[in-house]
Amino acid sequence: MTGAASLAVTGLVAGYGGVPVLDGVSITARPGTITAVLGANGAGKTTLLRTISGFVRTRSGEIALDDVSLARLAPDRIARAGVAHVPEGQGVITELTVEENLRLGLLLRPRADRGAALEDAYRRFAILGERRRRLAATLSGGERQILVIARALLSAPRVLLLDEPSLGLAPKIVAQVMDLVRQLRDDSGLTVVLVEQNARSALAIADRGVVLNLGKIVAEADAAELAADVGLRRHYLGF
Amino acid sequence: MQEFVEFTLGGISDGVIYAAIGLSLVLIWRGTRVLNYAQGGMAMFTSYIALVIIDAGGSYWLGFVVALATGLVLGAVLERAVVRPTIGKPPLNAVIVTIGLLILIEGVAGIIFGSRNRSFPTPFSIVGAKIGTFDLGPGASPSAFFAAGAVLAAAVLLALLFRYTSVGLRMRASAFSGTVAQLMGVRVGRITTLGWALAGLIGALAGMLVTPQTFLYPNSMDSIFVLGFTAAVIGGLDSPVGAIVGGLILGVLLNYVTGYVGSNLPELAGLALLILVLMFRPSGLFASTATRQV
């Protein structure tokens, strides 16, 4: 790991077709913190992550990893710059084995480090070690989520973008995944941008939170402050 | 009994050619969802290149190597220059473009090399082996063994590439999910070009192996392409192993039909097999059952 970086999004306008989904969004994720991005369906949370990682074109505004501009770069270049994006629900390649999926994460590392990094991952995620030869299609939803996060970590990212890691998982597994994200910040000092519908779980581990509504930021504060704001919770966060 | 052995061996020796064409189509289809209608035309063209070298006094093997290398380069260049702009557009665009390429390549070949049938050399004898008085037929000739060995070697090398190298992993990841591959920093565009290049090479190999039987003329690969396509569809279009097995099944079946039923029926039988597969197993015999994420 080359050290955590800050990710700064400034005045971002982006979207599909005619109408912009993101309308002047600015967010700063400080190094070694978790920033929760919250909001209802259609608020633009996933589009924000997809724009940062280059799958949706930036129309105007700036995206910077430390002082390197990422806006309008191709997705593979953004990945090589150190941004790992764990997409919503479907990041596992089911036709490949667990180990092959993990090896994809290793492609960005120097060859000499790969073996040790993979063994580390198996030590940390024992379940993946046990199933390394099996097709990823045979994993449960929770195991797949662990697999995609483990794979993202193997690429030694400087910023981790997580899109709805709790989606479709049982509450107990959600707690485990959130715990894992917290550990990544505490132990590895990773910068995390966490998109969640499950605002309560996300704010429990986040340092900062922003609330998106219809492509604009309607609130931004320390996570504890957002969690304590009853009006905001009722209006936008649903808990 | 003698006939059965002869037809079977002949079928295998034809089948490896269909398998090679099928394999080249699968390599491209897997990565880009484009069916390269120009594959046969490209193989015809590289065979002409080989013939020019051989006629000019170069050895067969020099022609062979240059043909394969030309196939490799031709595949890469055509992907970059002509096919790449169609990606992300309606699928019909790529269909039209590759059919247009086929017409162009065949036209250019006619202009440069003329349209008369040219005989094409083989490096080995086409006389079949005999065990006592038991004639095994041309399917057991040194030339047929060479063809089978060459296609088998190409298939094994590809399998090793896919399975054990990081380039192979990149290729498979790009084929199964371009999005995830990009997220992992894979330069999917380059991988696509590599897929086309390898397909061009395998196609050129098929051209070198089959042309001694068909003669060489601008349309000489057309019917071989159709059979190679059938082989790929039998195998599921997604599966390299499927294309090879599909090619062998097709080759053997067509030889039985020619031998036992009538020599004018094999095209019909190939078509019937294609229809049966599409009716009862539309995704082919070897397609993975996992749902694809688009």
pLDDT tens-digit series, residues A175-228: 888 999 999 999 888 999 999 988 999 999 999 999 999 999 999 999 999 988
Average pLDDT over residues A147-167: 92
SS3 state of residue A86: strand
Closest chain A residue by Cα to residue B170: A104
Residue B198 has pLDDT above 80, yes or no: yes
Residue B218 has pLDDT above 90, yes or no: yes
Average pLDDT over residues A54-79: 94
pLDDT in tens, B262-274: 888 888 888 888 8
Q: What was the pLDDT predicted at A70?
A: 95
- Sole residue written with tokens 């068909």: B214
Q: What was the pLDDT predicted at B287?
A: 66
What are the φ/ψ torsions at residue A159 (nearest 5 degrees)?
Answer: -135, 135
Cα distance between residue A130 and residue A107, in whole Å: 22
The Cα-based distances of A93 to A104, A188, B120 in angstroms read 10, 26, 45
With contact defined as beta carbons under 8 Å apart, do B234 and B273 qualify?
Answer: yes
Q: In sequence order, which ranges of B85-221 are alpha helices (DSSP H)?
A: 91-113, 142-164, 166-176, 178-183, 188-214
Q: Which residues 6+ apart lie within 8 Å of A198 measured at CB?
A: A166, A174
Tally of residues, chain B: 294
CA dihedral B215, B149, B167, B44 (to 10 degrees): 0
Helix axes of B142-164 and B166-176: crossing angle, nearest 10 degrees: 80
| Percent of chain A scoring above 70 in pLDDT | 98
Cα distance between residue A17 and residue A15, in whole Å: 7
pLDDT in tens, A77-106: 999 999 999 998 778 999 999 999 999 999
- CB atoms A76 and B187 under 8 Å: yes
Which residue type occupies B250? L
CA-based nearest residue to A164, from A40, A62, A63: A40
Chain B residues near residue A137 by CB distance under 8 angstroms:
290
Cα distance between residue B249 and residue B174, in whole Å: 29
Which residue type occupies A110? P
A170 pLDDT tier (thresholds 50, 70, 90): confident
**Domain map of chain B by residue range?**
2-280
Cα distance between residue B79 and residue B62, in whole Å: 26
Q: In sequence order, which ranges of A67-193 are alpha helices (DSSP H)?
A: 75-81, 98-106, 111-124, 126-130, 141-154, 171-188
Q: How many CB pairs under 8 A join A and B?
A: 67
Q: A38: distance to nearest CA of chain B, Å?
A: 23
- CB atoms B185 and A91 under 8 Å: no
Chain B residues near residue A100 by CB distance under 8 angstroms:
169, 172
With contact defined as beta carbons under 8 Å apart, do B131 and B143 qualify?
Answer: no
Cα distance between residue A96 and residue A105, in whole Å: 13
Structure tokens at A46: 């996933």
Interchain contact B187–A (C-beta under 8 A): yes
| Percent of chain B scoring above 70 in pLDDT | 97
- CB atoms B172 and A87 under 8 Å: no
- CB atoms A100 and B172 under 8 Å: yes
Architecture of domain B2-280: Orthogonal Bundle (1.10)
Structure tokens at A223: 């996570």
Interface test with B, best of A16, A46, A49, A104 (most B CBs within 10 A): A104
Q: What was the pLDDT predicted at A2?
A: 53
Instruction: Give ∠ CA B13-B14-B20 in degrees, rounded to 5.
Output: 95
The Cα-based distances of B192 to A214, B76, B174, B293 in angstroms read 37, 9, 8, 19
Q: A176: distance to nearest CA of chain B, Å?
A: 24
Residue B79 has pLDDT above 90, yes or no: yes
pLDDT in tens, B23-51: 999 999 988 889 999 999 999 999 999 99
Mean pLDDT over all residues of chain B?
Answer: 91
Q: B164: distance to nearest CA of chain A, Å?
A: 10
